[in-house]
Amino acid sequence: MRIDIVTLFPNMFSGPFDESIVRRARDNKFVEIVIHNLRDYGLGMHRVVDDYPYGGGSGMVLVPEPLFSAVEAIKGESRIPVILLTPQGRLFTQQVAEELAAYSRFILVCGHYEGVDERVREYLVTDEISIGDYVLTGGEPAAMVVCDAVVRLIPGVLGSPESVRDDSHSGGLLEYPQYTRPQIFRGWEVPPVLLSGNHAEIARWRREQAVLRTLARRPDLLEKADL
């Protein structure tokens, strides 16, 4: 898989993509993540990327030309998804992550300031994604969230296929409680069923815990879950 990211702040991405599982996925060539500086496509000597909104109002708006130039240079003749990160987009969920994980290539465009010229939405991007109902200063943290959630779904990136299958949200439920050693910590014991060696009983208990936990914390998810 290849993910291209268009941003005004390329340095924000060093760190999150250079550690842990995403790092290993890049090192092992499961994914190539290429960061493009929108400023390189800015207009004129000053590499202008933003301007005042027509009609007045506060803040600046990203002008269309640099965004069109950047995305067109990246995609060439290929027809690949071009996704704008914006609080106005459709909500990012595990299902959307699975959808993106099926593509061999896509482009993430980080929105900024008060927004982007509407013609970018209409004629350049093919999709718009938001990571939640709150406002970030820019699309960069959202792009990192999307990349992380998608990269871990690429077959081979995680140790075992079970770790993806058992994730919170993968079956529409939150994950069951996990325990590891010691068997008794400060007097608090691991549920005996997990030590029983009875795999059918353990599976039943975990399923029940997942349902109870989802009911307590996220009853909205239960309505959509396939039980």
Note the residue count of the chain: 227
Hey, what's the torsion of the CAs at 143, 111, 41, 81, to 10 degrees? 60
* Residue reference for tokens 């002008």: 63
Q: Which of 130, 149, 150, 176 binds ligand 6GU (CB under 6 A)?
A: 130
User: Cβ closer to ligand 6GU: 134 or 188?
Assistant: 134
Joined tokens for residue 207 = 């399923």
Residues 17, 33 contacting (CB under 8 angstroms): yes
What is the number of H-type helices and E-type strands within the chain?
A: 8, 9
* Measured distance CA(191)–CA(183) in Å, rounded: 9
Site for ligand 6GU in 199-218 (CB under 6 A): none
* Measured distance CA(33)–CA(14) in Å, rounded: 11
- The minimum distance between CB 79 and ligand 6GU, in angstroms, equals 23
Q: Can 72 be counted among the known catalytic residues?
A: no
Q: Can 87 be counted among the known catalytic residues?
A: yes
User: Cβ closer to ligand 6GU: 111 or 205?
Assistant: 111
- The minimum distance between CB 178 and ligand 6GU, in angstroms, equals 29
- The minimum distance between CB 126 and ligand 6GU, in angstroms, equals 15
Residues 110, 6 contacting (CB under 8 angstroms): yes
CA-based nearest residue to 153, from 29, 48, 21, 58: 21
User: Cβ closer to ligand 6GU: 94 or 209?
Assistant: 94
Residue in 87, 105, 141, 218 annotated catalytic: 87
Site for ligand 6GU in 3-62 (CB under 6 A): none
**Mask 101-120, x = binds ligand 6GU (CB under 6 A)?**
----------x---------
User: Cβ closer to ligand 6GU: 54 or 134?
Assistant: 134
Question: Which amino acid is residue 143, in one-letter code?
Answer: A
- The minimum distance between CB 29 and ligand 6GU, in angstroms, equals 28
Q: Can 175 be counted among the known catalytic residues?
A: no
Total number of residues binding ligand 6GU (CB under 6 A)?
13
Q: Which of 42, 66, 139, 172 binds ligand 6GU (CB under 6 A)?
A: 139
DSSP-derived secondary structure for 149-206: HHHTTSTTSSS-HHHHHTSTTTTSSPPPP---S-SEETTEEPPGGGGS--HHHHHHHH
Footprint of ligand 6GU (CB under 6 A):
85-87, 111, 130-132, 134-136, 138-139, 142
